Structure 1
């Protein structure tokens, strides 16, 4: 019996050139998956692909706009035609959004941007891959959320509603797809401590809050965030990627419709 978690699995990762998407792609490939990474920037996808290829993994890249239903469907169809089926899909697409602005100063557009953006791409990608999953081969759809889904703090109105929406979307979708042998899970990491150094867009998200506090982003993560966790540390890219690989594997076959909390204990359901 192979010790690889994802041997002979075909995995699609949207946002595969990003910090989290790239980290997950590398671990999926290490665990035996054939990885198809899609994103908006070929150079970022190529950087991830080079790492995977250098380590002996299997990877293919495609420039795909995850907000374009037709483009996503064409890509999913092409992956299924090439590989025969899709076993795992992860949506790690980023949507720039506001954090730190109170209601009085928040525009309707700023409020709606993460809600519309994140939920739109989740719907588009989930619908596209679900058609090629399940049946005799278990399928897994993984999504990413944030602690804002549970937090009651000021300045994260749009962010918090979008995070809660992502978790609700995954929960309800799990009920719909379970009869087709497809599991749906949400991973809820806190701020990922090494994501900014890896080029994550969260650098721009956290910048206003750090400036308001008179801190660097690194100080904000250290002082204001990690000390609010039970473990007194924030998750790493490796934490997220290794957890995703386990959840995508048959070893987590009894898990669906739930949130996996990677906040270091900042929030306990």
Structure 2
């Protein structure tokens, strides 16, 4: 198993991506700690993991509360003996499709402040308990908006670019401590709406303007802009995360795993 004996933390573990990754981490032998704001969603993921024979613990946690996040990480390290892998899969609802002239400062800053603040808080909390004789891995998530030159995604694009820069610089800082930092950059996710993702809320105005349903917009709009003519699935993202978190990817850091289906070509 890829992650046998590893202690893993998934922030936003009740969400579509976080839950999918947590399930795969557990299947691959990891002890999984999932944290997030909505206990019912965390419990649903935990039931799946337990039913499959995995090890999981849940914690209701506001990742914007740096004191609570630090205490949670300290507790995990004390009980489990350290933290080997952490993924920040926290979602921040934000605007897409509004041009500069109509975009408020609040809406522009919502993803910039929200995503980067949670990334800073969670990374700082877990890094103290990683590395040394046990290699540590911090996984982050980004989006194609970090590099796309299209209108209407100012806040989204800036926040995504910020997350990628954050991960790259953090990787350089933490490398001497034997901690890797790798970013996963999927596109919009084909099956995310059905899994309860907030994707439908983000793209609803754009889809409506095009006279399409959310699924039609994903399948016939965004998907057609990729080389593969399809969007990534939650399973593909989760399986990639498990590989990147494992020792098999031990030479990978300060880089981006491009799961955009060829929407972006690195």
Query: Deviations for 1:204-251, whole angstroms, at most 9, x for unmatched residues?
Result: 001111011110000100111111111111000000000000000000
In the TM superposition, what whole-angstrom CA distance separates every residue of 1:141-191 from its partner, at most 9, and x where no partner exists? 000000000100010000000000000000000000000000001000000
1:208 aligns with 2:205: yes
Aligned to 1:38: 35
Give 3-state SS (helix, strand or coil) of 2:180's partner.
strand
Alignment of 1:48 with 2:45, yes or no, is: yes
Equivalent residue number for residue 61 of structure 2: 64
Aligned to 1:248: 245
Q: Which residue, out of 186, 189, 201, partners 1:189?
A: 186
Alpha-carbon separation, structure 2, partners of 1:102 and 1:206: 15
Equivalent in the alignment of 2:234 = 237
> 2: CA distance between counterparts of 1:224 and 1:203?
14
**SS of corresponding position for 2:228:** coil
- Comparing 240-249 with 221-230, greater Cα deviation is found at 221-230
**1:131 and 2:128 are equivalent in the alignment:** yes
> Alpha-carbon deviations, 1:122-158, whole Å to 9, x = none?
0000000000000000000000000000100010000
Alignment of 1:88-103 (within 5 A): 88-103=85-100
Corresponding residue of 1:154 = 151
Scaled by the length of structure 1, the TM-score of the pair is: 0.98
Structure 1 residue runs without a partner (length 5+): none
1:197 partner SS? helix
Q: RMSD of the TM alignment (CA)?
A: 0.4
Give the length in aligned residue pairs. Answer: 266
TM-score (normalised: structure 2): 1.00
The CA distance in 1 between the partners of 2:33 and 2:11, in whole Å, is 9
1:268 is aligned to 265
SS in 2 for 1:265: coil
